[in-house]
Chains A and B, each alone.
Chain A
Amino acid sequence: METWLPFAFESANLQSVTLSFTWEPADRFDQQILEPMLASSKSLRSVAISPQLLSASTLKLFSKSDSAQSITVLNISSHYTKFNFEDLVVSLRNLPRLETLTLPWPIIFSTYPSTVQTDSASPVPESASADFDQPHVLHFSHCEAIAVSCPNLTEIHFFVEPDVPSEEDDYHIFREAEEEETDTDEDDDISPFDPQNFDAENDPDQWFRVKRSQSFKNGRLVSVADSPCLHVCTVFSDTCDAGFDHAIRLFVLLNQVRKHTGFL
């Protein structure tokens, strides 16, 4: 196995960096490329990275780097994720100047291709369901913590699914059986998503889509049981981009969260 050595990076003037390493193993991307850059930079403002797998260890790099404290823009896109919202909250504590944040929604994928397997002692875990991907659930406490850590951040943009082929149902993802989902401790306090519970024939198209998307959001992605505030502090967006693929996103409105903190 090839030994990976840190990249000799000595450009302290770096202000903006965009890294796109689609074929790179995750821990190698962290240790050899991203970590030396964060360590050497003194005035980093904007970071856009596109690793194959966004892991908790990648996020952790931002929590322990001094240069991360000057970052105002952080855009991350990845094909696979291996982190949860607690990891994100911890990392963002070290980014007090953050103004723009774009992330993939943390999802436990049913399968990870071999190329994203790391060589470390903790291999990528398999999800509980072998057939379907499972999204992590966002709680109001997560939003509160982020709102406090990043006072200049007004919105978080999550890409739930970057592009769903136009010929597929928008909400085919995360379609595991309801009974399986409600058995878990983590997800039993969120509303069920019932795509059949709408009168599609009588509802106007748009209204039908709005109701279905809200049900999907509350049933799969956010926990409105512990705080109904999340229902209005988050906006679920299902748009058709220029490439005619659906982009499913969720926006967290942190100013709303700040208003509701302490009340709900």
Chain B
Amino acid sequence: MANHSFLLPELIDAVFQHLPKWDLYRCSQVNREFNAHAIPFLYRVVEFYFHAPYLQQNAKTKENKVWRQFCRYPELLSYVHEILVEVIHNQYQIQDNIQIDVETTPCFEKRVEYILRQGRNVRTVKMRDFNRRVPQLGASHHLVEFGGHLVGLDVRMTRAAEHIFNVLADLERYREITLDLWNVKPQHIRLDGDQDFLLRLQDKSQVVNLSTTGFDSPSKCLLLQQFSKLHRLCLRDHIDTPTSETLDFETIFENTPLEYLQINVSNIESLPRTIQELRVGCDRVGKPQNFDSKDLAGSQPLTTSKRPCCDTRKDGNMAPVCFRIR
């Protein structure tokens, strides 16, 4: 294998795209040909974590190694397609009082800006705080030092997102972007929600794919009109429509080339006429849908769920569906 070229090199990419990073790393050491095919996949996603101390050292070490590679071989930046930023809370220390950690990634802003500017193929930004809704894992338990102040991980995440938005707005060339946001907003600062936070993005026409939490009412959905180039939209929160309001998606997206729409609703007036792929769910009020990163990539097979018992359905928290005629 080491001395002969692979007969079907196109198959290598087809296989490598499904491999985890550790396997890709090992494949990169097989021979020069495998190395050439594995490297682009190894650097396809650059990960940053704001996290609790028990993972800090390991993640920090990995991040520094990747950064050193970018500094030594700037051409690697052309392989970067996605920036992933996640908050990981320390669930094993939730009984403790407030914990103060040092800033986990003191160079985050500098590094992410460099990657966004030099990595011209970066198209996707994912920012996620999955544990925000778990009460005992409240972000206020974990503080980090940032800008000379102690802030919660939620605030740190918000600052990171604001910085990314600012860099995106300053990019020299227009770039179509996929935004995947999950609970990116500070808890203790009075904001209307994620949707208000999103509006700080100056050039909203950059965003062609959007997957986000926070849009849980018709009035908030109206704000999406500003994203005039949206092709795919996934709203993860249940949209609760009171009788006094209407959810008229046809009007909201009248001038938007929306092709894919994924919503969780109790009441809807109309849908965009341009829609080609539609996913509508009606779950309990306030329960976010458990969609993963494949949401924006395409359809997923319909999963079956356990037959619920009658008592569960008698729960007063159900969302009555009411589709109205215009």
Contact = CB atoms under 8 A, between A and B. Distances in A.
B4 interface: no
Given A13-B274, A13-B275, A23 B313 contact: yes
A21 B275 contact: no
B323 interface: yes
A114 B310 contact: yes
B95 interface: no
A20 B275 contact: no
Nearest to B309: A113
B319 interface: yes
17 contacts: A6-B325, A7-B324, A8-B324, A9-B270, A9-B271, A11-B274, A13-B275, A18-B278, A18-B302, A19-B281, A20-B302, A23-B282, A23-B320, A33-B321, A75-B302, A115-B310, A247-B304
Contacts of B301: 48, 75
Contacts of A200: none
Interface string A1-33: 010011111111111111111111000100011
A15 B276 contact: yes
B271 A11 contact: yes
Given A75-B301, A79-B307, A162-B305, A32 B278 contact: no
B270 A10 contact: yes
Interface in A132-191: 159, 162-163
Given A11-B272, A12-B273, A24-B321, A113 B310 contact: yes
A77 B303 contact: yes
A16 B301 CA distance: 12
B163 to A, nearest CB: 36
A163 B306 contact: yes
A14 B275 contact: yes
Q: Is the interface of B mostly helix, strand, loop or mixed?
A: loop
B323 A32 contact: yes
A23 B325 contact: no
A51 B277 CA distance: 19
Interface in A212-249: 245, 247
Interface of B: 250, 268-283, 299, 301-308, 310, 313-314, 318-326
B324 to A, nearest CB: 7
A7 B325 CA distance: 6
Contacts of A8: 269-270, 324-326
B283 to A, nearest CB: 7
Nearest to B322: A2
B324 A79 contact: no
B325 A5 contact: yes
Contacts of A163: 304-306
Nearest to B278: A17
B195 to A, nearest CB: 24
Interface string A44-58: 001011100000000
A111 to B, nearest CB: 8
Contacts of A77: 302-305
A28 B320 CA distance: 11
Contacts of B283: 20, 22
B313 A14 contact: no
Contacts of B308: 22, 79
A10 B282 contact: no
Contacts of A12: 273
A114 B326 CA distance: 31
Contacts of A21: 280-282, 321
A41 B271 CA distance: 13
Going nearest first, the 6 A-B pairs with the smallest beta carbon separation are: A162-B304, A7-B323, A113-B310, A18-B279, A48-B302, A16-B277
A23 B274 contact: no
A214 B248 CA distance: 52
A9 B261 CA distance: 14
A16 B278 contact: yes
A29 to B, nearest CB: 8
A60 to B, nearest CB: 20
B280 A20 contact: yes
A15 B307 CA distance: 29
B318 A50 contact: no
A12 B281 CA distance: 20
B324 A5 contact: yes
Given A11-B272, A13-B274, A17-B278, A23 B319 contact: yes
Contact of A22 (B274, B277, B282): B282
Pick from A6, A11, A159, A163 the residue with the most CB of B within 10 Å. A11
